[in-house]
Amino acid sequence: MRELREYTDELHRRVELKIETRRQHRRRVLTACVPLALVLVIGTTLAWPYLSGRNTKDAALMEGVDGLTAAPGTGPVAAPDGVLAGGAVQDPAATLESVPEPELDGRKGMDSPEDKLEPEAGLTEGYEVPADFSFRLVWGCYGISSYDSATGELVKTTDATRPEDYVTTHRLTETERNEAWALLSALELEGYPASYDPYNDPASAQRVASEPNRDLILSLRAGGSETTVTCRGICLGGSGLQGYDEKARAFLAACDRLSELLQSTPEWQSLPDYEFYYE
């Protein structure tokens, strides 16, 4: 009896072990399948708009192909682009003429020659340059560079063994003259003091200076009168240093732009390199 009971208990234990093993296998399968099913559901949901749209486009494309290949009278009512009713082909030239030229902001396409304007052309629109307009600018470290538009004399430097080698003549182009007038007329030079330091506010005790320093002299001639603003021994600038107020910054910006314009001319570029440099 004891052996029979032990045998029965062992048999029950093995049966329960097999059942538990099967349950574990089932749980493992479910554990692996549930995330996979979620991925499939989510992926299908996200891709469905694209797939449905693509199917729609494919169907439309196939309809167009059917219309081209079907026998006369059996194709779709709407003919493809360039194909008239009855299968006749439309004249390509007429098709091109019927398509309006694309416009951007009321202008012709960006490849149109009218869009390739000079960089500063927009700045000079609406400005009427006086016939007697001219200007003179002195700039650079210790004021070694200068230009007078009345005579066309352009000086790269006066600090040289042979200063005459650094003198040339440049006549302003119409675009350069228009830009210079736009800059100087907007500046309202008559509102500046004759002797001026754009870096130091007269009402402030704080002062900025540099060694070496520079000179800036700007003269405007127009309407039978001349206005000159002289800046002697002012800070050399650079390193983000700006004028002490809006008027000072406008004055410096106008002088810098005029000097850049002059230094970009072929006449300036043909002059020899500086003989001396300042540190």
Sequence spans of domains, the chain: 1-81, 130-269
By the 8 A CB rule, do 218 and 255 touch? yes
Q: Does the 130-269 domain belong in CATH 3.30.1560.10?
A: yes
Tell me what pLDDT residue 232 has: 96
Separation of alpha carbons 222 and 81, rounded Å: 63
Tell me what pLDDT residue 160 has: 92
- Give just the sign of the alpha carbon dihedral 113, 119, 123, 126: negative
Locate all alpha helices (DSSP H) within 122-276, ordered by sequence: 174-187, 246-263, 266-269
- Give just the sign of the alpha carbon dihedral 95, 97, 100, 101: positive
**Digitized pLDDT (tens) for each residue of the chain, 279 residues in all:** 555 566 566 666 776 776 777 777 777 777 777 777 777 778 777 766 666 555 555 555 455 444 444 444 444 444 444 444 444 445 544 444 444 444 434 333 333 333 333 334 444 455 689 999 999 999 999 999 999 999 999 999 999 999 999 999 999 999 999 999 999 999 999 999 999 999 999 999 989 998 899 999 999 999 999 999 999 999 987 767 889 999 999 999 999 999 999 999 999 999 999 887 765
Tell me what pLDDT residue 55 has: 53
Separation of alpha carbons 152 and 126, rounded Å: 25
Nearest Cα residue to 147 out of 129, 165, 134, 159? 134
Tell me what pLDDT residue 39 has: 78
Separation of alpha carbons 53 and 23, rounded Å: 45
pTM as predicted: 0.55
Tell me what pLDDT residue 2 has: 58
